[in-house]
Amino acid sequence: MTNSISNLELPHSVSLLEKMAAESIENGPFTYVHSGSGNEITLKANIDAFESWQIVPKYLNDVSIRDTSSKILDTTFPNSFALAPVGVQSIFHPEGELASARAAAHYGVPFIASTFTSHSLEEIATHLGDTPRWFQLYWSKDEELAISMVKRAEKAGYSAIVITVDTSLIGNRERDLNNGYSPLKLGKGSANYINDPVFLERFKTRPSSDDKGVIEKIGDVLFNPSLTWEDLRTIKKHTSLPILLKGILHEEDASKAMDYGVDGLIVSNHGGRQLDGCISSLEALPPIADVIQGRMPILLDSGIRRGSDVIKARALGASAVLLGRPFVYGLAIAGEQGVRQVLKNFINDIDTSLALTGCTSMSQVNKSLIRRKK
Ligand code: FNR
């Protein structure tokens, strides 16, 4: 299979996309995207959770004109979803994030760039045009470096900072460990570092992305297990951009986030890639929505595969969702065209699901439309 297919028709279900992706790229990168941590209990729970809730539609409303959009912190999500931050995308396709950014821009789908991308946040921005974008930050052990990345993101038109809180260390991804596969060690996520003035100060000459010294240095500073709630005050001092926390699962943390002046939450377990055995995102959502009471936007990811999943997340209290693995499968199969196809099919599915729920806009989707399976 080649990585660029004209007249492309990709399957509509994620399970078939996954199979096609497995045939399109090597086992190392495929396992990296597809697998979860430990025994993959949480990876599975993310999918099962959506099956344990049922939509109860209400009919005979005129649903001939529909609006699937939602607005979060001044950002319009035309279809109530954004692309989740996914690092090291060049292991799936040589164009990596540039291809997925162009596909997102084609549909106006907001893009969240990871700290750990294969192309710099500035270069990704040029491929997004005026499509809304947020920057996901792994708040580094090197505070000066973290602040420098925030400033660069501001300059390149990113309109919110997403701080991922569930990655104090990298999860125990058994299948990658068994394969001996690590994109970090291959230097595939170095672009934001080797283009950063603070990071470069540590090197006499401009290093390449797979320079051993660079990889070692990134490994040293990338994750920060000593991060605390108090550190949020430092971050807030250095930016006027809104801050969202990604990876919140406990309602007490949701409550703390409000105390610390956070602007939004992303309920997520990193797609089952961090703590295996932790709660699925969808099960974590209702108690968090109860605590927040609409005072800040809540997004959700981990296990979103279909339009009806977006309806369920919305009914249980999320304003919008993030899509992870499915778009990466499109990227692995056929680059920009592959991501475009996945997005097109997902957008249609969301629209159809909204109509069949009996609603004309996402704002009508509420608790009355969902019940837990007995
Ligand atoms: C991720 N995710 C992620 N999250 C993050 O905050 N920063 C990152 O750099 C990455 N990188 C990354 C790489 C790959 C290959 C995957 C699959 C995931 C997690 C991602 O943002 C999101 O939380 C999950 O992918 C959502 O779950 P689904 O949709 O994949 O089930």
The pLDDT of residue 147 is above 80: yes
pLDDT confidence of residue 209: 82
The pLDDT of residue 5 is above 90: no
- Please say whether the structural domain 14-55+73-372 has been given the CATH code 3.40.50.720: no
Which atom from ligand 1 is nearest to the alpha carbon of 271? 27
Q: Would you say 136 and 114 are in contact if contact means Cβ atoms under 8 Å apart?
A: yes
12 counts as catalytic: no
Cα first-last separation, the chain: 44
Which atom from ligand 1 is nearest to the alpha carbon of 115? 9
pLDDT, mean of residues 198-216: 85
Pairwise CA distance, residues 146 & 317, whole Å: 31
Which atom from ligand 1 is nearest to the alpha carbon of 266? 23
pLDDT confidence of residue 246: 98
pLDDT confidence of residue 7: 67
Count CB-CB contacts under 10 A for residue 71.
Answer: 14
Q: Would you say 47 and 281 are in contact if contact means Cβ atoms under 8 Å apart?
A: no
pLDDT, mean of residues 122-142: 97
Q: Would you say 40 and 272 are in contact if contact means Cβ atoms under 8 Å apart?
A: yes
List the chain domain ranges.
14-55+73-372
Q: Would you say 302 and 280 are in contact if contact means Cβ atoms under 8 Å apart?
A: yes
Q: Is the ipTM of this complex over 0.90?
A: yes
213 alpha carbon – ligand 1 mean position (Å): 26
- Amino acid (1-letter code) at residue 154: E
pLDDT confidence of residue 3: 47
Pocket-forming residues, ligand 1, beta carbon under 6 Å: 32-33, 46, 84-87, 114, 116, 136, 164, 246, 268, 270-271, 273, 301-304, 323-325, 328
- Amino acid (1-letter code) at residue 101: A
